[in-house]
Structure 1
Amino acid sequence: MALDLHTVTSGQRAGMVDRLTADGVLTDALLRNALLHVRREVLLPHAYVRVSGPGADPIDWRLLDGSHPDDRQEWLELIHSDDSILLQRDGEPLDALPRGPVTGGHMTSMSTYTPATVEALQAMELGPGQRYLELGPGPGVSLALAAAVTGPGLATGVERDGHMTAFAQRNLDRLSLGAAVVEGDALEGHKARAPYDRIHSGIGVTSVPEPWVEQLAAGGRLLTTLVTRTPSWPGQLLVSRTPAGTVQAVLRGRPRGYRPMLGYRWLSALDHRARIKANPGRPRPTRLTPPPDDAYGFWLAAAYLAPGLVRDFQSETMTLVAPEDDSWAVAGPDNGTVRVHGSRDVWAELEDVHARWKQAGQPEQYRVDLRDSSGGQHVTSRAGPKALAWALPPLAVVPRQVP
């Protein structure tokens, strides 16, 4: 006799939790219990799969419908995998999406892949009874997990897209977790239920919106991704308010982060890939060995101090591109040489940032003043007179899309 869907998905969730635990990602017992019991198949009833390769335009997709027997096994494996789940193209309504192939459009909503969700929620140090705010919850996966930990009526999400708001609320109601999603501008937070013990932003921002800090309770924690124009080196910002009301903020480089708000355009190395392969550039000597990928403090500084660069992680050797300057640098073929092309010496800039980073003590984290004397937000390594320092760009304002 065939197993019912509930039994199958319970087994899938258990396998997912075991994998996250074995990989050292999942360590929190309360979150582990939430992952075991929150039914992801309710929150993610469909999923787009990209069929086209990189650079294709228009893009070919295939929509998996979890209720269709021919899609069910692939859909179940996908939503319990470590992949991000693609849910919405171009802000489309989500009530009756057609199953099967579809061409065109770009993804406007997705669920974050599970290891990143787990890492973020664990960094929040969630506990029962906390008031929780999720900014940009999308389909509500992390919101549902938070609600399962904090308790009914304490978890709220603010979602920009009206179709996604209705979709997420309907599915969350089926789980009876007492979580609410309201339509609104996530940059404004949600004053009606403030203050919050925990605030989590599922969208990347260039600097921290003032309402978020204002709505953070004493003893509270706020977690967000700080984005620059490059997707290659994100920063994770943890803001805490002491019981006495003092605000402290620490920025760390991370291997991954949340995508910026809808409408914010990242730089891309894709259009230059073929040209770089055909002409890597003129060779010159260098004393800088390509820095390791896990030198997160350095790469984070480079995102701000050598702006406009993006890395092609698909290249055989380290390749950095300044798309707007039609310039690039390709490391190798050995550690003593680098090939450069264009008017901008990308590698020279990297050498300079690396030297300054070493002089500053190779910081792995930075202090952020969220309201300095100039009214801006300022970052420093706290490493004495040779400290690395920079100002955060103003908050990127994205016009609201009209359906």
Structure 2
Amino acid sequence: MTDDDKALRVALASRLASGGYLRTAPWQAAVDWVPRHAFLRGGFFDQVAGSAPTAWRPVMPDDPRWLTRCYDDDSLVTQIAGTIAPRDIRGEIRRAPTSSSTMPGLVVRMLEDLQVEDGHRVLEIGTGTGYSTGLLCHRLGDDCVTSVEVDEDVAGHARVALGDIGYHPRTLVGDGLLGAADGAPYDRLIAMCGVVDLPYAWVEQTRPGGIILATLCGWLYSSELARLTVGEDGTARGRFLGGQISFMLARPQLPPPLGMLPDLDDGDERPTSLSADVLDDWNTRFVAQLATPGAQRIRLERNGHTEHVLIDVSAGAWAALAQDGGKWTVRQGGPARLWDAVEEHISRWRADGAPDLERFEVTVTPEGQTVTWPKV
């Protein structure tokens, strides 16, 4: 590590502290010391400005921008389409990102929110590049950190990067939704990926009084960071912490392919008092996806106007909304009425005073996950 590297690390820590993400001395010391660029030696992808669909261009260590960009408070994409690394591309690629180095501000905010104490044993779900794992190792020591990564190549690169800077935590390759039972119980569990349903295995592997920190998402892509405490009864309860946190979903919980679209001219049509625009609001969309957890949203140009479509592939249900002369209608087909459920949920939430998501309560039991809100 050079003086330039050290200056960049210290400057990053200072920016994160000024932004309110970095709040305590032990985590500031970790950011001061752990070199983020050591986890990005394989390069990363930069988004090509103005591209549609989004194009990505590799940035390698021989690029003059590389080192400085490593210490920007940005998420840096490190893998495309499940297998493609920056070294594999010359030019541009238009595929979906599948792994990244999460923006440091979010990483340290979550580590602060985890409320660790000296000696705590932590299970991390989603090793990624290993940067967050390195911060945990600096704060707690290698022996207290276990990290699980689903992608063998990603895990291998992280393990090498960690070893290069002197850290040797327990790193596993596997489905992080299953946790790491052979090392349980843990004092803290942190997920560096989003989940649609928080697995009960995580609750079982966290000691009573321990904390689980995870981002709960949906296929309508509104998500919130939840902090839950495990009780003596084996139930985890908590609330959202706010901030509109976004993460890539855990791969086993990614939405299914849409396949062939249903006949959108079929189904039952009726007027609706809710426009599709309500789903543009983060909080309202979160409430909607509680009502239709299996639904995905797309937009289509048909017959000279835009249709907003919800599709639940597994249930075989769909709803298509369109505006005509200032009025909205919805057509619905399949065994469930998706928009009926959305209308009911949003109307009830609004009737209860439309409480902020930070007031919602999350409970995880052996029977599953529930999210509720109080009346204002």
Q: TM-score, normalised by structure 1?
A: 0.72
> Paired residue for 1:50, among 37, 47, 50?
47
Deviation of 1:205 (Å): 1.8
Corresponding pairs, count? 345
> Paired residue for 2:109, among 100, 119, 136?
119
Is 1:90–2:81 an aligned residue pair? Answer: yes
Distance 2:196 2:273 in 1: 35
Distance 1:228 1:342 in 2: 22
Distance 2:178 2:32 in 1: 33
Distance 1:306 1:185 in 2: 26
Aligned residue number for residue 258 of structure 1 = 247
| Partner AA of 1:357 in structure 2 | W
Deviation of 1:42 (Å): 0.5
Task: Answer yes or no: is the 8 Å Cα contact 2:122–2:145 preserved in 1.
Answer: yes
Aligned residue number for residue 64 of structure 1 = 59
Distance 1:153 1:366 in 2: 35
| Partner AA of 2:244 in structure 1 | P
Aligned residue number for residue 277 of structure 1 = none
Task: Answer yes or no: is the 8 Å Cα contact 1:135–1:159 preserved in 2.
Answer: yes
> Paired residue for 1:145, among 135, 138, 142?
135
Distance 1:34 1:155 in 2: 15
Task: Answer yes or no: is the 8 Å Cα contact 1:91–1:163 preserved in 2.
Answer: no
Is 1:11–2:2 an aligned residue pair? Answer: no
Deviation of 1:53 (Å): 4.5
Distance 1:20 1:338 in 2: 46
Aligned residue number for residue 80 of structure 1 = 71
Deviation of 1:380 (Å): 2.5
Aligned residue number for residue 396 of structure 1 = none
Task: Answer yes or no: is the 8 Å Cα contact 1:135–1:186 preserved in 2.
Answer: yes
Judging changes above 3 Å, is the alpha-carbon distance between structure 1 residues 347 and 248 closer, same or farther for their aligned structure 2 residues? closer
Aligned residue number for residue 201 of structure 1 = 191
Aligned residue number for residue 235 of structure 2 = 247
Judging changes above 3 Å, is the alpha-carbon distance between structure 1 residues 169 and 320 closer, same or farther for their aligned structure 2 residues? farther
Deviation of 1:198 (Å): 0.9
Aligned residue number for residue 273 of structure 1 = none
1:74-118 Cα distance to aligned partner (Å, 9 max, x none)? 112322122211112333376x92574243543221121222212
Aligned residue number for residue 368 of structure 2 = 376
Is 1:360–2:352 an aligned residue pair? Answer: yes
Distance 1:366 1:106 in 2: 31
Task: Answer yes or no: is the 8 Å Cα contact 1:237–1:249 preserved in 2.
Answer: no
Distance 1:329 1:152 in 2: 56
Is 1:187–2:177 an aligned residue pair? Answer: yes
Task: Answer yes or no: is the 8 Å Cα contact 1:34–1:148 preserved in 2.
Answer: yes
Judging changes above 3 Å, is the alpha-carbon distance between structure 1 residues 98 and 246 closer, same or farther for their aligned structure 2 residues? closer
Worse-matched range after superposition: 208-217 or 301-310: 301-310
Deviation of 1:170 (Å): 0.3
| Partner AA of 2:235 in structure 1 | V
- What SS is found at the alignment partner of 1:178? coil
Is 1:301–2:290 an aligned residue pair? Answer: no
Distance 2:322 2:117 in 1: 47
Task: Answer yes or no: is the 8 Å Cα contact 2:39–2:158 preserved in 1.
Answer: yes
1:162-191 Cα distance to aligned partner (Å, 9 max, x none)? 111110000001121332321111111112
What does 1:247-286 correspond to in 2, within 5 Å?
Answer: 247-252=235-240, 254-262=243-251, 264-265=253-254
- What SS is found at the alignment partner of 2:68? helix
Deviation of 1:206 (Å): 2.0
Distance 1:338 1:13 in 2: 54
1:140-169 Cα distance to aligned partner (Å, 9 max, x none)? 111111111112321111111111111000
Task: Answer yes or no: is the 8 Å Cα contact 2:200–2:368 preserved in 1.
Answer: no
Deviation of 1:43 (Å): 0.9
Judging changes above 3 Å, is the alpha-carbon distance between structure 1 residues 310 and 54 closer, same or farther for their aligned structure 2 residues? farther
1:260-306 Cα distance to aligned partner (Å, 9 max, x none)? 122654599xxxxxxxxxxxxxx99889x979957x4x543222126
- What SS is found at the alignment partner of 2:2? helix
What do you get for the CA RMSD once the two structures are aligned?
3.9
Task: Answer yes or no: is the 8 Å Cα contact 2:319–2:339 preserved in 1.
Answer: no
Distance 2:96 2:32 in 1: 32
Unaligned 5+ runs, structure 1: 269-282, 313-318, 331-336, 388-403
> Paired residue for 1:322, among 295, 309, 331?
309
Task: Answer yes or no: is the 8 Å Cα contact 1:60–1:101 preserved in 2.
Answer: no
Judging changes above 3 Å, is the alpha-carbon distance between structure 1 residues 326 and 248 closer, same or farther for their aligned structure 2 residues? closer
Distance 1:377 1:237 in 2: 12
Aligned residue number for residue 226 of structure 1 = 216
- What SS is found at the alignment partner of 1:149? helix
Deviation of 1:217 (Å): 1.6
Task: Answer yes or no: is the 8 Å Cα contact 2:236–2:365 preserved in 1.
Answer: no
Task: Answer yes or no: is the 8 Å Cα contact 2:278–2:285 preserved in 1.
Answer: no
Deviation of 1:17 (Å): 1.9
Distance 2:178 2:147 in 1: 12
| Partner AA of 2:251 in structure 1 | L
Unaligned 5+ runs, structure 2: 258-270, 300-305, 312-317
Q: TM-score, normalised by structure 2?
A: 0.77
Judging changes above 3 Å, is the alpha-carbon distance between structure 1 residues 141 and 88 closer, same or farther for their aligned structure 2 residues? same
